[in-house]
Amino acid sequence: MLKKATRDAYGETLVELGHLYDNVIVLDADLSKSTKTELFAKEFPERFFQMGIAEQDMLATAAGLALCDKVCFVSTFAIFAAGRAFEQIRNSIAYPKLNVKICATHAGVTVGEDGGSHQAIEDIALMRAIPNMTVIVPADAIETAKALHAIYKHEGPVYFRLGRPAVPFIYNDDFEFKIGKANKLREGTDAAIIATGIMVACAIDAAKILADKGLNVQVWDMATIKPLDLEAIKEAAKTGAIVTAEEHSVIGGLGSAVAEASAEYAPAFMSFVGLKDCFGQSGTPEELLEAYNLTADNIAKTVLEVVDKKSSS
């Protein structure tokens, strides 16, 4: 199975954008080798700013550049972008609705051996709560590239969540990405799995496991968590059973967003696959996904439980 890290696709696509648009500026906080912005730095050194370990300063500088009609792509690890520089993002970027794209890599527990202190599992919750902020979590390398072209054209701030390890390809080169539009990857009438980021591939595998048990399950890639695709949630809710899956806390992330929308517009039985109000720990990505039940098997098990609730109601 072919795999590629979304952070690798990010670095490569930044170079494409640099060639297409001379107002693209890239800033990094002393992590350009890991975030892959080093590719842009080599190609366009005059448009790359290495800001050092000073994330608040980096985000505030990006705000100033955006006021000068630049489109700024700002990168560091998710734990530092969403956490350490929250105030600058909120007050200097989102409040005036500036054209800064916060492209945070190394999100979730798949950061691995760096441990819980470096594993951002609350960043989606933080970013989606900020007014004017768009939140996007691509599922694979192709969606990453397509989404980057879309967010360049989007007016206003974006939080773009990227991962460390290689992940399977889901899409083909002819895929079209639209901000705010979920993609249905599999039809089904018995239940729906709504996933984001690396959990999309697991959701597809879970649907295959369930098919062997006689269940027909929809699979949705909800790459845009804000603004949420309400029509997709309404369609998923028609099955009567929804399971969300994310490499993030179940508090405040994709699951919370879908539950809020479902409660208001399209009620259904629901359950959530994600971290259950806990920090991460050190380990390999594979070990941690297993430890926190972020697997196809657990998604399938959770779907069966929700379908049982639906049938018993």
CB 123 within 8 A of CB 84: no
| Backbone angles phi and psi of 128, in degrees to 5 | -75, -15
Token pair of 6, please? Answer: 């979304």
- Within a 10 A sphere around the Cβ of 184, how many other Cβ atoms? 14
Euclidean distance between CA atoms 216 and 90, whole angstroms: 42
What torsion do the CA atoms of 42, 48, 54, 57 make, to the nearest 10 degrees? 180
Question: Which is the catalytic residue, given 16, 55, 247, 264?
Answer: 55
CA distance 85 to 279: 20
Q: Sign of the C-alpha dihedral, residues 120, 123, 144, 90?
A: negative
Give the torsion through C-alpha atoms of 51, 52, 54, 57, to 10 deg: -10
Catalytic status, residue 305: no
- How many CA within 13 A on the CB side of residue 21? 16
CB atoms within 10 A of CB 95: 14
Cβ(23)–Cβ(188) under 8 Å?
no
Sheet containing 269-275: which strands, arranged edge to edge? 183-186, 217-221, 191-195, 241-249, 269-275
Query: How many contiguous H segments (helices) and E segments (strands) does the chain have?
Result: 13, 14
Task: Return d(Cα 67, Cα 157) in angstroms, integer.
Answer: 12
Type of residue found at 54: A
Do residues 257 and 120 touch, judged by C-beta distance below 8 A? no
Query: Which residues are part of the catalytic machinery?
Result: 55
